[in-house]
Structures are given as C-alpha cells and as structure tokens.
Structure 1
C-alpha cells in the first residue's frame, strides 16, 4: 500500500461545508461589486448629464429671450418646443414662480422691493428661471423679491 489514507465521510462533509461557505462569500462579494459598479456608472451618468445641461442653459436663455421678444415664427416655435422636450426628457426642470415664498437655497434675490406690513419675502418677479435635475440645483432662479424692509 502506498500509505495514502481515504478521508472519512465526516471529513468530506466538513470540506464540502467549507468550500460551500467560501463559494457563498465569493458570490456575495461579486454581487456587491456589481451593485457598486452599477451605482458608480449611474453617478457618472448623472454628473455628465448635469454638466451638459448646465452648459446648454445659455442656449435655453437665448431661445427664451427670442421667443419673448421676436415674432413667434413656426421655425422658432419648433426650435423652442424641440429643445424644451429634449431637455425635459433628460430631466431638466425649470422653476421659479411669482408669488412663491423666497427660498435662498434655490432663489437668488437680485432686486428687493420693500412692502411694509409684509411678514415674509416672496418672489415678486422671475427675472431668470432656475433649473434643476432631480434634487440637484443647476442654477438658482434670479428673482425680484418683495417683503419686509
């Protein structure tokens, strides 16, 4: 005989449990890695979209000014509608409405009109809309506020 011993049934079962536990640990680590990579990819995508949208805000402003001050031709209307739809599909949201309470986190007061007797600041006029994508502020709204002196 060559002196090699045959492992007992109990020893084989113990080795099987150890290898199964090792395999389960490796699988859990791999699943966590996949989730982390997916989360990182989404974060990079969100940052890239936010950067592109921020760079396009002057174009949006120019189109808005043209629509406000020029006769609305079919071509200009088509450009404005298409731009708004495409940017909206990427998650761009305009905000800022007259009469809404002033929030320094998302509004930038450019003008202040004193209103004796007023209890709080409100947005009296939207000078330039603000934009956000989801919870991320891309640009605060420039507003004229009225409220306590």
Structure 2
C-alpha cells in the first residue's frame, strides 16, 4: 500500500469518527443533538415520569380523632379550673380588703370613742364662754384632727327626733312643733362613717 493510500485511509477514518459524533440516521441526514437539547429532553422526561408517578397518599392514623377530642376536653377542664381559681382569688382579695377596712375603722372608732368625754368638756366650756386663749387653740386643733379621722358630730336643737340616733331623756308637749322634735340637746352624738359611735342625748317635745 502506498503512502497516498495510507493518507486516504486516515482521512476516511477521521471522517467516520466525526460523522459518528454527529449521529447520522439511516437516511444519511445529519441529526446532531446538542448537549443543551439532550439535557432538555432528560428534564422533560424526568418531569413526565414524575407526573406519571402517583403521589404518596396520607393514610389516616387510627384513633387520632379520639386523642384530639380527649385533649380538647382536658383543655376545657383546665380552662374552667383556671377561671374558678381566678374568681376565688378575686373574691378573696375583696374579702381581705373589706376586713382590713373594717378593722381599721374599728380601731379608729375605739380611739375616737375614748376621746368623746374630752370633746364633751370642750362643748361645755364653749357654752359657758370659757373656751378662750391657748385652750381654744388646743380645742380647735383637736377638732380638726378628729374631723380628718372621719368623726362627725350631730344633734342640734330643732332636729326631728330619730330614735335610732337620739336618746330621749325627757318628754314634753309643745304647740310650736308639728312632729316629735329635739328641743334641747344635753350631749351631742357622733358618727364615724356609717357607724354610730354614740347617740345624742336630747329632750323631745311632742305636738299638743
């Protein structure tokens, strides 16, 4: 074989290799498939296979509904327990506050009740005109203090007689009144808030 034949064989071999890469179909047409086209086909093929494959179905767990219902029932019970405890605590706080206020008022009332004879002496001194000088200043200061503590005096001449607030030590008739009235006050009464510390001592006149 000559050198020319060898060259021709090499070229023929090279052409065959090249044409094999280009994938010649049976009719001799060039059907070169690029890398991008192959990847696109593979992607479409994978998507098609994925579409054909059935999705996993969710299999219901036996007894799950009953467990959820039990949890819901327990939650409702705990909620009711919490509401009941909250209401009981609120009532407890109210009761404690009420008892504390009552205890403070009772203590204050006891102190003020002990001071009532002193206030009676001051009233008698005022009626006789003896409330002058430093004694008058002390009396005013004491009156201001007991007033801040809630002590209120009552019992004036001409007030309608109230057996729940007045202690009648004398009775008479008078044409000047249309109902039982206090015509004389021997000793004033005192209240602390809604509590009666001492009734007023009065003389009562009934209509004729």
TM-score, normalized by the shorter chain, greater than 0.5: yes
Report the secondary structure of 2:160's partner residue: coil
CA change 1:66–1:15 in 2 (3 A) is same
2:110 matches 1:51: yes
Structure 1 unaligned runs (5+)? none
Separation in structure 2 between the aligned mates of residue 85 and residue 108 of structure 1, nearest angstrom: 26
Structure 1 match to 2:4: none
Report the secondary structure of 1:97's partner residue: coil
Q: CA deviation at 1:141?
A: 1.0
Report the secondary structure of 2:162's partner residue: coil
CA contact (8 A) 1:99 1:123 kept: yes
Report the secondary structure of 1:55's partner residue: helix
Structure 2 match to 1:141: 200
Compute the TM-score of the two structures, normalised by the length of structure 2: 0.61
2:99 matches 1:17: no
Q: Which has the higher helix share?
A: 2
Q: CA deviation at 1:131?
A: 0.8
Structure 2 match to 1:124: 183
CA change 1:123–1:13 in 2 (3 A) is same
- What is the number of equivalent residue pairs in this alignment? 144
> Once superposed, which parts of structure 1, at least 4 consecutive aligned residues long, lie more than 6 Å away?
none
Q: CA RMSD in A?
A: 2.4
Name whichever of 60-69 and 112-121 sits farther off: 112-121
Structure 2 unaligned runs (5+)? 1-62
Separation in structure 2 between the aligned mates of residue 130 and residue 47 of structure 1, nearest angstrom: 17
Separation in structure 2 between the aligned mates of residue 105 and residue 29 of structure 1, nearest angstrom: 37
Bigger relative contact order, structure 1 or 2 (CA pairs below 8 A, ≥6 apart):
1
Q: Deviations over 1:75-123 (max 9, x none)?
A: 2222111111111111111111111212222112223333258543221
- Give the alignment partner of residue 72 of structure 1, picking from 118, 132, 141: 132
CA contact (8 A) 1:124 1:143 kept: yes
2:75 matches 1:30: no
Separation in structure 1 between the aligned mates of residue 139 and residue 117 of structure 2, nearest angstrom: 13
Q: Deviations over 1:37-62 (max 9, x none)?
A: 11111111222222221111011112
Q: Which has the higher strand share?
A: 1
Q: Deviations over 1:8-63 (max 9, x none)?
A: 33322222222122122111111111111111111112222222211110111122
